[in-house]
Amino acid sequence: MSTTAWNGLDIPAAGTYNLDVAHTRVGFVVKHMMVSKVRGNFTDFSGSVTIAENPLESTAELTIKTESISTHAPDRDGHLRSDDFLSAEKFPEITFRNARVTGHSGDEFTVVGDLTVRDVTREVELKVEYGGAGTNPWGQPLWGFSISTEFDREDFGLTWNQALETGGVLVGKKVKIEIEGEANPA
């Protein structure tokens, strides 16, 4: 892979890179019954990163198919696809667009962009950790990353909940997003 030395990092050369869906996980974590966490992921997504000549002018986008949500509990997954949550038939995609780099320190970048869930768009800030660049055993170039953010699901109209007899609610308001993956030249 062609790389460029920049601010002490060996980063991918300017160009467009597609997410390698076989080596990327788009996951989430939500508090359950006030005592534990449910982890899930989306299995159908696509995205790209365009590295600019000035890496701080780079952009990114991500499209997630809401129908592909999985928590490994079919009844819960069906409920999450329903109108109580994602309304997957009416809103088949979650998107992240207009991403731009707003900060940098070492191998960590702050990226801000527009997240759309259902019909609500809000600006969110991502912490992106650059994992390095390399070449796999078959000669294909790649680079890795870790992304995280947290937001209040109610800001996106995901307000369904159920009160518990012991106090509190069934589903936490905060959603933590965890994306681990690799990208390859387009």
Task: Identify the CA nearest to 28 among candidates 144, 158, 164.
Answer: 158
For range 127-148, the mean pLDDT: 93
Task: Report which of 76, 81, 102 is spatially closest to residue 93, judged by C-alpha positions.
Answer: 81
> What domains can be seen in the chain, in order of their start residue?
3-181 (2.40.128.110)
More confident residue, 38 or 166: 38
Higher-confidence residue of 134 and 114: namely 114
Percentage with pLDDT > 70 across the chain? 99
Q: Give the pLDDT confidence score for residue 35 in this predicted structure.
A: 87
Q: Is 58 helix (H, G, I), strand (E, B) or coil?
A: coil
The whole-angstrom separation of Cα 133 and Cα 184 is 10
Q: What is the mean pLDDT of residues 102-126?
A: 97
pLDDT, residue 1, reads 62
C-alpha of 141 from chain center: 22
The chain-wide mean pLDDT, for the chain, equals 94
pLDDT at residue 11, as a whole number: 93
Write out pLDDT tens, residues 83-113: 999 999 999 999 999 999 999 999 999 999 9
Take residue 129 and report the two structure tokens written for it. 């950790």
Q: pLDDT value at position 113?
A: 97
Backbone torsions φ then ψ of 139, nearest 5 degrees: 85, 10
Scanning the structure block, which residue is given the tokens 């970048």?
A: 109
pLDDT score recorded for residue 167: 84
Which of the pair, 34 or 143, is modelled with greater confidence? 143
The contacts of residue 90 (CB under 8 Å, 6+ apart) are 83, 118
∠5-100-150 over CA atoms, to 5°? 110
Structure tokens at 112: 């801000």
Structure tokens at 156: 């996106």
